[in-house]
Structure 1
Amino acid sequence: MNLVSMKRHQSILNKLEEQKYVEVAELCKELNVSAVTIRKDLKFLEEKGLLHRTHGGASFENPYINDRSVNEKEKIRVDEKSNIALEAASRITENDSILIASGTTVQALARAIDVTEKLTVITASLNVALELIRFKHVDVLQLCGYVRHSSSSVVGNQAASILENVSCSKLYLGVDGIDLEYGLSTTHLEEAQLNRKMIEAAERTIVLADSSKFGKKSFGRICSLDDIDEIITDSGINKALIPRLEERGVVVTIVAK
């Protein structure tokens, strides 16, 4: 390997250190080399265990997500999730009817809700329902179906059939991965299918995701970025992703740490 290649590899790693995720097209422009050269560089660095290649780019972290229990995930990035939840809760209005999916960030949303007027909530999450029963003026419709032990949420045709007969102003959606090409994803295929039904039943879809979810993908694809309206995230997001998301019509709201 020559000195030019070594310098290029170091430049790639430096950019990854700064942004956590890089794209092939961006590296081509910055380093003034072809896409073929960059892909060879990324393959070499991946073989050395220095990064993980993704579709169209690379990241330090493995982009493929395995299923973990909600009890484990709720202990991760607690402050970021709480701040995202507070911002999301500010969107809820009097006499609103909303959908809340599953996951630890939307569970934090349920804890952050503080309403004095009537609110109707439809949710797949048992934990969300338990958080909201403290309010006498909040009507909670718990979707029925098979309960996933890892997420404490329901999936299945029974839950999906209920959603065919409702319309809500907003869906608050938690995800396991956000990828510019692959879209939104979760670790469970049936959960992804139920989330798609929720999107169809909502006028507006708001994704609650901390910055670690970007550049990740999982087994169950929920939808493309074109199907959502807003992402609420924290300041750790790679700033280069923001204009790319906005080009797709997604409003990006960043909360302070």
Structure 2
Amino acid sequence: MISQTERHQFILNKLTKESFVNVLELCKELDVSSVTIRKDLKLLEDKNLLFRTHGGATINNPYTVDRPVNEKEKLQSGEKMKIGATAAQLIADNDSIIIASGTTVLALAKNMPPKMNLTVITASLQVAQELIKHPDIEIMQLGGILRKSSSSVTGPYAQKILTDFFCSKLFLGVDGIDLEFGLTTTSVMEAHLNRQMIEVSQKVIVLSDSTKFGKRGFGRICGLEEIDQVITDSGISEHYVNQMESRGIEVTIVN
């Protein structure tokens, strides 16, 4: 029978390769009970070698913290611009789209073609400021409570306005993507607004750099089953790509 030390090494090797391990999968691979695996994960967490999550464990700290938007802009800025440029290619003339909030969707706004007939609904003040220079883009700025850390609006008034519209595409930024918990943000009010955006959109496209995978924010937006496409960078693990594609999500990876 495999020893505890060997089990621990197997778990850590798997985490290094895939960034996430599942309790049930480990039970089958190591031929031990779930009680044994959970004890192993607890011991490894006590040594600061992993973080336990619901149903498994991850090598990365899964909990996100809120940061000012000007600080977020500096993180993975090159990857975000490439993601934004790829997302911009999905927009067609005469589209009616929603652009949520966050620095990755701001990169989309910065990459949008200057001469397109579009209607854009956005919660982001920065997105609106970026697009105002395009004469053929009609901008509808949602109103509500200003969330200063993200330079965007939230609240029931913004949610109510959205019920009058239906758009072809939603470009959504997130603070975390977890295979079990789904999409999250650090603000509950922003999560509620994003959920309403999903309700009134035909296609949901998530723009996220690879550091967001395996993370969880305080406010849950939705499960993975409610999104259609994810655009990310090459830092994403093969495990996450396979898991999302197996659920029917199109994964686009920028180099």
How many aligned positions are there?
255
Deviations 1:158-202 (A, max 9, x none): 111110101111000001111122111111011000001101111
Deviations 1:48-91 (A, max 9, x none): 11111111221122111111111111111112111111111100
1:161 correspondence with 2:173: no
Aligned residue runs from structure 1 range 12-23, under 5 A: 12-23=11-22
1:21 touches 1:238 (CA, 8 Å); kept in 2? no
Mapped partners of 1:81, 1:180: distance in 2: 22
Q: CA distance change for structure 1 residues 26 and 3 in 2, over 3 Å: closer, same or farther? A: closer
Mapped partners of 1:6, 1:82: distance in 2: 44
Structure 2 residue aligned with 1:186: 185
Identity of aligned residues (%): 58
Aligned residue runs from structure 1 range 230-249, under 5 A: 230-249=229-248
Structure 2 residue aligned with 1:54: 53
Taking structure 1 as the reference length, the TM-score comes to 0.94
Per the alignment, in what secondary structure is the counterpart of residue 29 of structure 2?
helix
What letter is aligned with 2:177?
Answer: I
Offset of 1:146 from its aligned partner? Answer: 0.8
Mapped partners of 1:29, 1:68: distance in 2: 40
Mapped partners of 2:246, 2:2: distance in 1: 38
Mapped partners of 2:222, 2:14: distance in 1: 29
Mapped partners of 2:222, 2:247: distance in 1: 13
Aligned residue runs from structure 1 range 75-224, under 5 A: 75-224=74-223
Per the alignment, in what secondary structure is the counterpart of residue 238 of structure 2?
coil
Bigger mean CA offset, 2-11 vs 75-84: 2-11
Mapped partners of 1:19, 1:143: distance in 2: 40
Mapped partners of 1:57, 1:80: distance in 2: 29
Offset of 1:3 from its aligned partner? Answer: 8.4
What letter is aligned with 1:75?
Answer: K
Mapped partners of 1:213, 1:142: distance in 2: 27
Taking structure 2 as the reference length, the TM-score comes to 0.95
**Which residues of structure 1 form unaligned runs of 5+?**
none
User: Over aligned residue pairs, what C-alpha RMSD do you find?
Assistant: 1.6
